[in-house]
Structure 1
Amino acid sequence: MIPKFRGLSIDEKSKGEWQYGYLIEDNGQAFIINEVVEANEQYITIGSWDPVRPDTVSQSTGLYDKNGKEIFERDILDYNGRKVIVKWHGSYACFIYEFVDELKNRTTEWQPLYLSYYKFEIIGNSLENPELLEVE
């Protein structure tokens, strides 16, 4: 299975809109492929693609929140009234979550997302809603 990504478009027609699909990175640039017309071992024909800001690229976790919405890296979720942020943990090769109110003090360890994703609700993401990461 090929991983799915999202990124904010820098194309004139769709600037600032989220684009979803496959990722191609080349020389510091990032492109989201929205449509593949044909592909085989020797070539790929791309139907449509959008250049995106590389700093906004996030990978899908392949999991969905309790409302059926797809969860991506950097999403901020509600978990019984507490906010958590989704991250990729490279050493363990899995998506994790950390409670936002404990990030500053580092008083908590991360938890694997796949164990309880169905209890979460997406309330934003760290790129569009950085205020959700603020602790009172």
Structure 2
Amino acid sequence: MKREMKFRGLPTCKEKDELDYINFDRDGNFAVGFYEDGYIIGKVADANDEYIYPEFWVAVDRNTVSLYTGLKDKNGREIYENDVLQCTSYTYGNGETGKTSLLVKYDEMSAGFIAGPYMLGKLMDIRKCEVIGNIFENPELLEGKQ
């Protein structure tokens, strides 16, 4: 299976007018595209033997750059590293449902993305999860859970 390689990061520029002028691919407040040395870069708009010109480039905070997992939540929203997922879990016996919030991280040991103790897409049913935020804009979603 081929996974789409893309990243997202929060722009360092916070001026709304300037950000609107740049016209970059977005996921909420994040710029989305390729990542290179502190910039999220759009697809190639023009190129020849002397230059390559991308559709856009946006300086981003390196600490907020996150890799796309290749998966989507139950609502079709793309899941990135550092997203917070709210997942429905079932209690054995009485069949009651509960919800738990999990942070998405890359795990080098398994060479894959995990949410809490679960491997995304393999040991966890992603169809029962939805992205409810991320650690950069919504750190309160994980308070007391780390």
How many residues of Structure 1 are paired with residues of Structure 2 in the alignment?
121
Alignment partner, residue 14 of structure 1 = 19
Q: Which runs of 5+ in 2 are unaligned?
A: 21-27, 89-98
Distance 2:41 2:61 in 1: 14
Alignment partner, residue 121 of structure 2 = 114
Distance 1:56 1:76 in 2: 14
- Indicate the SS of the match to 1:131: helix
CA contact (8 A) 1:35 1:49 kept: no
Distance 1:77 1:8 in 2: 19
Q: 1:69 aligns with which of 49, 56, 77?
A: 77
CA contact (8 A) 2:4 2:70 kept: no
Runs of 4 or more, structure 1, over 4 Å off, are 38-43
Which one has a larger percent strand, Structure 1 or Structure 2? Answer: 1
Distance 1:65 1:46 in 2: 29
Distance 1:23 1:37 in 2: 16
Distance 1:40 1:75 in 2: 38
Greater Rg by CA: 2
Distance 2:64 2:142 in 1: 17
- Indicate the SS of the match to 2:56: strand
Deviation at 1:9, TM superposition (A): 0.5
Distance change in 2, residues 1:2/1:83 (3 Å):
closer
Distance 2:4 2:50 in 1: 17
Q: TM-score, normalised by structure 1?
A: 0.78
Correspondences of 1:1-136 after superposition (within 5 Å): 3-11=5-13, 12=15, 13-14=18-19, 17-25=29-37, 30-38=38-46, 44-80=52-88, 81-98=99-116, 110-115=117-122, 116-135=125-144
Deviation at 1:35, TM superposition (A): 3.1
Distance 1:132 1:41 in 2: 48
Distance 1:6 1:129 in 2: 16
Q: Per-residue displacement from partner, 1:77-103 (whole Å, max 9, x unpaired)?
A: 1111111110000122100010xxxxx
Distance 2:104 2:139 in 1: 13
